[in-house]
Amino acid sequence: YPLTSFISNSDEIISMQLNIANKAVSGKDTPFYVSFTNNLNEDFNNLKLYITAGSFSQEQDFSIKAKERFGKNFILTLPIDTPPGEYNLVLKIYSGETLKGNGKTILRVDPNKELEEKTSRVNGFLSTKVIITKINKGNILTNKQVKYPIGSFENLFTETTPKATLTNENGQKYLNWNLLIKSGEQIDVTIDTNYAGLFFTILGLIVLAGLIYYIKTRSIRLTKKVIMIREGHDKHSYKVILNLQNYTRKPIHNLKIIDLLPALIKHYSDFVTLEPKNIQQGSRGLRFVWEISKLDSNEERMISYKIEPQLNLFGNIKLPPASLHFLAKNNKLIVRKSNSAPFRLSKQ
């Protein structure tokens, strides 16, 4: 009679021997080798091989001939967030719902503190964005301290995400973050320095100043000054000069200039350029009134008269501003004042 062998369990029809290191690193490829043996004198096709370990699972088509023995290489890649501990690496072969082979071994996953770090920098118009990226490629919660040097002026125009704390170490300022990074988590620290706001503020002020200057220079302007005139070796006098300029594009009619001369200062009776319409004596001094019927666009008029102190005065003196009066289109009275006119009286 022929010798007949019996297999007591169906899961022993195909036996397996696993050859793998007893440690695996989460997120990394772990190679292993399996030797398969068909214990029956029968071919098996259209089988399914299932490989599981923790949350890792894989499915492959499988076939083996009668009494065949062969080996095959596999790659096990546990998810990056697989916690440390011991796991069963299980291989099962099925024909439909019938188990034909079963293999198992113990696999240990150790704590992995791998942290990937990279820094990128993007330069824009008057701006710089620095992104510090931390990626936890390990399988445990990781605490990471991040420091970034920054200047005091630069810090005024810098925003950070997440919000940083500012410290000072030996005169150098640092932005600091204390990051708790979960397994598989990526945290981006953004340092955004932008001087555009300052630039446009300064530009706006310059434009505003230019606009004010343009408006002033495109209108009627009255200025006043006092100059000293030498009339000999030790003799000199003083002249008040009122300068009227029409910077508008249209003529101005019926202008009136009023100037005040304090009581301690007297004037000469002769007026070199234009005689005043009225000279009025007041308690605080003389009031000169000039009337100009028309001032054309871009026309300039100069009025001057000589003065001298009533008493033996010397030192710094300031004459009050003169005023200009005229009517606008809507018959609204416009009053413009000149600058005051400081000068120094010297001893004769």
Average pLDDT over residues 20-35: 91
Query: pLDDT (tens digit, 9 = 90+) per residue, 234-289?
Result: 777 889 999 999 988 889 999 999 999 998 888 877 787 889 999 998 888 899 99
pLDDT of residue 5: 39
Q: 196 versus 216: which is more confidently predicted?
A: 196
Confidence of residue 212 (pLDDT cuts 50, 70, 90): confident
**What is d(CA 76, CA 59) in angstroms, rounded to the nearest whole number?**
12
63-87 per-position pLDDT tens digit: 999 999 999 999 999 988 899 999 9
For the chain, helix, strand, coil in percent to 5 are 10, 60, 30
Instruction: Check residue 77 and give its pLDDT.
Output: 92
Q: Which of 1-15, 52-66, 128-142, 234-248 shows the lowest mean pLDDT across its residues? A: 1-15
